[in-house]
Structure 1
Amino acid sequence: MGGKTDNPVKDVAGLVASARLASKTGPAPVHLWNPPFCGDLDIEIRADGSWFYLGTPIGRPELVRLFASILKREGDSYYLVTPAEKVGIRVQDAPFIAVDAEIGQDVTFTTNMGETIVAGPGHAVEMRGTADAPRPYLHVRSGLYALIDRKTFYRLALAAEPDQNGQASLKSAGMTFSLEP
């Protein structure tokens, strides 16, 4: 990513104002925006889903949800994007955490941002890692993933049934997802 911005406090304030305008309800249409890159901000999403600014936790959940609504991934890089600017941030693993799931005919996940997502077309459950250390993820939107937390993964594993290859799998929205890496 590029260099740090000169005035991070001003940039964050402007970013917040622009984000509020751009994302009145739910995630903003960041996939439609391609503003100029304005540099990096010292914002990091840690592996546990917590957001930090200048090394300090962002303690306002509504601000974190606002930033999450303007998050965009391009290749391996993550940005906060408004129609007028794009700033780089760091993400340790996945930007979101799937913290719960309602398991029935379909599997509906809830993320740490309060979004509900039905596993299915466009929202695949993917297994990464190894058999000894599986890492389950849910595709949220546009290349953004949620790590499925341990308690939720255990519940999914208990509900799984063997597929035609004998692998533990879940069905949701007409699709089958393996729970083995």
Structure 2
Amino acid sequence: MSNIELKGFSAASSAGLPPVHTWSPPFCGDMDMVIKANGEWFHEGSKIKRPAMVTMFSRILWFEAGEYFLVTPVEKVRIQVEDAPFLVTGWQWIATEQGRAIELVTQTEDVVVLGVDCDFWMASYQQEERPYVSMRYGMSALVGRNVFYGIAESLEQVVTSEGVGMGIISAGKSYLLIKDE
């Protein structure tokens, strides 16, 4: 097991994301850290209870070749992710240049706009259909049940490359949720 060295990570990252895509540190081993399917983060078997700590770790999360890593300018450690590393916990309609759009907020304070910064899809996890959105560096976020139900109240008729049915339109992009038979 490895403990990640945070000396090379600036606390100023709260104003934005650190440039992890520019870092190429050496792989230093595995860390006993797991992001559970419900969005909770665990280290050495104990839940990380401080939201600020989870948010800090999420800022240095990197996805590569199907695996997840925490990276700093000087080291890279592998962690485990059961499903998606992020969880969407809030949403609202906003106005954008592309029209009315859904702004999504994760438990780690990431903010993305559906149709601008991310896309939406349904996928199966342990034989359950779940909603997801794309996130930075090829990662994804599970859309929390309460958020999904709130968004589902805005269903309308859509036509997409997957077919015709009920869905949502955000920033001018249509997302099919229920395909017509």
What are the residue-to-residue correspondences of 1:44-59 with 2, within 5 Å? 44-59=34-49
Structure 2 regions of 5+ residues with no counterpart?
A: 95-99
Q: What TM-score comes out, normalization by structure 2 length?
A: 0.85
Q: Is the 8 A contact 1:19 1:66 kept in 2?
A: no
Match of 2:105 in 1: 110
TM-score by length of 1: 0.85
Contact 2:92/2:104 (8 A) holds in 1: yes
Aligned to 1:126: 121
Tell me if structure 1 keeps the 8 A contact 2:105–2:112: yes
**Which of the two has greater strand per residue?**
2
Identify the match of residue 169 of structure 2 among 167, 171, 179: 171
CA distance in 2 between counterparts of 1:180 and 1:73 reads 30
- Residue equivalent to 2:97: none
SS of 2:92 mapped into structure 1: strand
Structure number with the higher helix fraction is: 1
Q: How many residues align?
A: 170
Specify whether residues 144 and 24 from structure 1 end up closer, same or farther in structure 2 by C-alpha distance, changes over 3 A only.
same
Alignment partner of 1:152 is 2:147: yes
> Which position in structure 2 is the counterpart of 1:98?
88
**Post-superposition offset of 1:159:** 0.5
Q: Residue type matched to 2:44 in 1?
A: L
CA distance in 2: counterparts of 1:154 and 1:101, whole angstroms: 11
- Superposed CA deviations along residues 23-58 of structure 1, whole A, max 9, x for unmatched, are 352221111212110001101111111111100111
Aligned CA-pair RMSD? 2.1
Q: Compute the displacement of 1:157 (Å).
A: 1.6
Does the C-alpha gap of structure 1 residues 86 and 151 become closer, same or farther in structure 2, counting only changes over 3 Å?
same
Q: Which residue of 1 aligns with 2:53?
A: 63
Gaps of 5+ in 1: 6-10
Confirm whether residue 139 of structure 1 aligns to residue 137 of structure 2.
Answer: no
AA of the residue aligned to 1:139: S
Tell which deviates more after alignment, 64-73 or 138-147. 138-147
Runs of 4+ residues deviating >4 angstroms: none
| Alpha-carbon displacement from aligned partner over 1:104-148 (angstroms, at most 9, x marks no partner) | 510001111122211113411111129x94211111211111100
In 1, the alpha carbon distance for the partners of 2:129 and 2:93 equals: 20
